[in-house]
Amino acid sequence: MNTACLFADWDPKPGFRLGPKDIEGQLTYLGSRVWRNPRIKYVEKEVPKPGPTEVLIEVKACGICGSDVHMYRAEPDGYIFYPGLTAFPCTLGHEFAGEVVDAGPLAINKRTGKNYKAGEPVCSEEMIWCSVCRPCADGYPNHCERLQELGFSIDGAYAKYIKVDGRYVWSLEELRNVYGDEKAFLLGSLVEPTSVAYNAVIERGGGIRAGDNVVILGGGPVGILACAVLRRSGAAAVIISEPSRRRREMALALGATHAIDPKEVNAADAVLEITKGMGAKLILEATGMPSVVWPDVERIIWEGRTLNSTVVIVARADDRIPVNGEVFQVRRAQVVGAQGHSGHGTFPRVITSMATGMDVSCVITKKIGLDEVEENLKLLNTNPTEVKVTLIPS
């Protein structure tokens, strides 16, 4: 089968030391310090054979994630932009849905409690948590000490087939029943990024109560999908701040009640005006530029009358955020970090929400074939027009 595979050269920067879990020439937890000259090759590989607890999935849809773009993007010195866990060459692609075509005898379908059967529509977590280390045993798979990642350090879904351990696979039967095959797979490929948003605002942000206001800073896919999740959860005002008009319109279509352009208006002023001075119970930092938006964040908390505001940091960034502790004392507020999508009942709740009205499929603004992966990785690097570009392999 044909695959879109990322290659790069193992060429550690000066001063790089192999970490305890790194493997010389193969795998590192600090990608941007090691990998150079990234390039996509379309490689012919054998269809994988599922092991005893694995399923073989025919990929029906696979979104391009910002991380994919960042793995392919080279800095001027040739090193890749993506800073995290990577092992190359690797078939990219981790936001996917497809149909089970084969399954090991011990691969269990969570939906039925029985063996997987061919024909089951499914999606998968991307985080390959070990189930054994202390974080896994304690119930925090997103923080597994022995994590692998599909499409980063293990072959992903820019291919006709992918094999995954049944532990990470979730049925999309509910979606197929409601939406039919094609749309079920499109929505299914959005379960992973929607779960990142859900994990951030519900599991880590503590959720909201119906009638609370929320603010989303940044209209990338996670920010937009968070609008859908929070409106669904009963938010009164769902205010997104995002410079791109297309993204603002999409956020409004999916659940935002107000969308502001931070180039035109001050976000804090706008939030305080829209909420008549109440502010927000939950503020999602999804811009990746926390120190830039922080003055607005603290003004919303300080000047808003809502106590107990929670700021959730979901976008990755190297910034130091200049936090004024007194704001958080006087307003009884908190800052939490969010990572991942696994565990805590998130995947199944996202799927059920999608099956009962939370149709976020309009996030997919472009569909491509396998041979168009490279050009679209390039495009997404420079052009924010598309929100989610999705590969339809067949």
Q: Which of residues 172-231 bind its own copies (CB under 8 A)?
A: 198, 202, 204, 207, 209-212, 229
| Shorter beta-carbon distance to its own copies: residue 221 or 290 | 290
Whether the ω angle into residue 89 lies within 30 degrees of 0, i.e. cis, is yes
Q: How far is CA 111 from each of CA 19, 121, 165, 170, 197, rounded to the nearest angstrom?
A: 39, 11, 15, 8, 23
Among 94, 167, 247, 299, binds its own copies (CB under 8 A): 167
Q: Where are the alpha helices (DSSP H) in 213-266?
A: 221-232, 245-254
Q: Does 134 bind its own copies (CB under 8 A)?
A: yes
DSSP label at residue 81:
S
To the nearest 10 degrees (0 to 180), the angle between helices 346-355 and 191-198 is 110
Residues from 286 through 305 that contact its own copies (CB under 8 A): 290, 305
| Shorter beta-carbon distance to its own copies: residue 236 or 379 | 236
| Shorter beta-carbon distance to its own copies: residue 34 or 55 | 55
CB 355, min distance to its own copies, A? 7
Of the candidates 358, 357, 367, the one whose C-alpha atom is nearest the C-alpha of residue 388 is 367
Burial status of residue 276 (CB atoms within 10 A of its CB: 0-12, 13-18, 19 or more): exposed
Of the candidates 224, 246, 237, 222, the one whose C-alpha atom is nearest the C-alpha of residue 315 is 222
Residues from 135 through 164 that contact its own copies (CB under 8 A): 135, 137-140, 142-143, 145-146
How many residues of this chain bind its own copies (CB under 8 A)?
79
| Shorter beta-carbon distance to its own copies: residue 60 or 204 | 204
Among 27, 313, 363, 364, binds its own copies (CB under 8 A): 313
Other C-beta atoms within 10 Å of 345: how many? 11
Residues from 39 through 98 that contact its own copies (CB under 8 A): 53
| Shorter beta-carbon distance to its own copies: residue 160 or 232 | 232
CB 188, min distance to its own copies, A? 15
Residues from 14 through 43 that contact its own copies (CB under 8 A): none
Contacts of 53 (CB under 8 A, 6+ apart): 104, 106, 107, 108, 165, 166, 167
CB 229, min distance to its own copies, A? 6
Residues from 91 through 130 that contact its own copies (CB under 8 A): 108, 110, 113, 130
Paired tokens of 60: 């029906």
Among 336, 362, 379, 392, binds its own copies (CB under 8 A): 336
| Shorter beta-carbon distance to its own copies: residue 326 or 371 | 326
Residues from 357 through 376 that contact its own copies (CB under 8 A): 358
Among 45, 246, 316, 378, binds its own copies (CB under 8 A): 316
Among 186, 350, 364, 380, binds its own copies (CB under 8 A): 350
Q: How far is CA 310 from each of CA 139, 140, 306, 316, rounded to the nearest angstrom?
A: 23, 21, 10, 18
Catalytic residues: 67, 70
Calpha distance 34→18 (Å, rounded): 10
